[in-house]
Copies of this chain bind each other. A is one copy, B any other.
Amino acid sequence: MLVPKHIDVRALCFDVFGTVVDWYGSVQAEVQRLALPVDGGDFALAWRAGYAPAMQDVRSGALPWTDLDGLHRRILNRLLAERGIALQEAQAAELNRVWHRLQPWPDSVTGLTKLKRRFTITTLSNGHVALLLNMAKNAGLPWDMVLSAELFGHYKPDPEVYLGAARLLGLAPAQVMMVAAHPSDLRAAAACGLRTAYVPRPQERGPGGTMEAWTAGEFDLVADDFLALAQALGAG
């Protein structure tokens, strides 16, 4: 009889932005609420698009360690300037904190609650601890533990993040499953020996948004949402 490779998994580590929460819809709604003279969805995409290069500047050493509030604010300032929008400092700071108030996908809280009964469930995000804690309190995400790039001084996909998570959890990498909507994150986790679950979120980048390519069979599990993931892992 075939034994599934995820049989010994003890902890699930979740990517957060896009996998657990809907950054596109949340940022879009906030921009519209503020009545900024831009398309909310376009603004959300542009803000998020600045994130990978900013993080790369930290990973390469071009920028000293800067948390996500700092990176988001650098990008926001540029976007506002490019669009000729002047906000008061308090307004800009409040808008920048929208990333602390992102809303979960409809299945996130119910699915995590089921999975928590059987597994240790943690974040494993490039968001810093304070942001992830504020988000969890605001959205009702029932984490056992908040694990963040901040604890390791490295951003994903650096291996220090995945291996650091397993070490802190007191587990072998193969006892830890990374759950993400992003194949690139999962591939980096697998390269460190972690198990992988792919949960595609086709709405992540809004209507008609593109998704990373992937190949059938390259991940240990593929599930449509967290309820299906719970079912697949015997925690349904």
Is there an interface contact between B137 and A120, defined as CB atoms closer than 8 Å? yes
Please, which residue of chain B has its CB at the minimum distance from the CB of A170? B130
In the complex, A129 Cα to B170 Cα: how many Å? 8
The segment from A31-39, A53-61, A142-150, A154-162 that touches chain B is A142-150
- Please tell me which one of the listed residues B128, B145, B151, B170 contacts residue A128 in the complex, with CB atoms under 8 A apart: B170
Residues of B with C-beta under 8 A to A146: 144-145
Residues of B with C-beta under 8 A to A120: 133, 137
> Is there a chain B Cβ closer than 8 Å to A136's Cβ?
yes
Residues of B with C-beta under 8 A to A130: 168-171
In the complex, A128 Cα to B145 Cα: how many Å? 13
As for how many copies of this chain the complex holds, the number is 2
Residues of B with C-beta under 8 A to A150: 168
10 residue pairs A–B, Cβ–Cβ below 8 Å: A120-B133, A128-B170, A129-B168, A129-B170, A130-B168, A130-B169, A130-B171, A131-B170, A136-B144, A143-B145
Interface of A, secondary structure class, is: helix
Is there an interface contact between A137 and B144, defined as CB atoms closer than 8 Å? yes
Is there an interface contact between A144 and B151, defined as CB atoms closer than 8 Å? no
Please, which residue of chain B has its CB at the minimum distance from the CB of A129? B168
Interface positions, chain A 98-128, Cβ under 8 Å from B, are: 120, 128
In the complex, A126 Cα to B117 Cα: how many Å? 26
Residues of B with C-beta under 8 A to A168: 129-130, 150-151
In the complex, A134 Cα to B145 Cα: how many Å? 11
In the complex, A165 Cα to B157 Cα: how many Å? 25
Closest 3 CB pairs between A and B?
A130-B170, A129-B168, A145-B146
Interface centre among A143, A168, A169 (most CB of B within 10 A): A168
Residues of B with C-beta under 8 A to A137: 120, 144
Is there an interface contact between B129 and A145, defined as CB atoms closer than 8 Å? yes
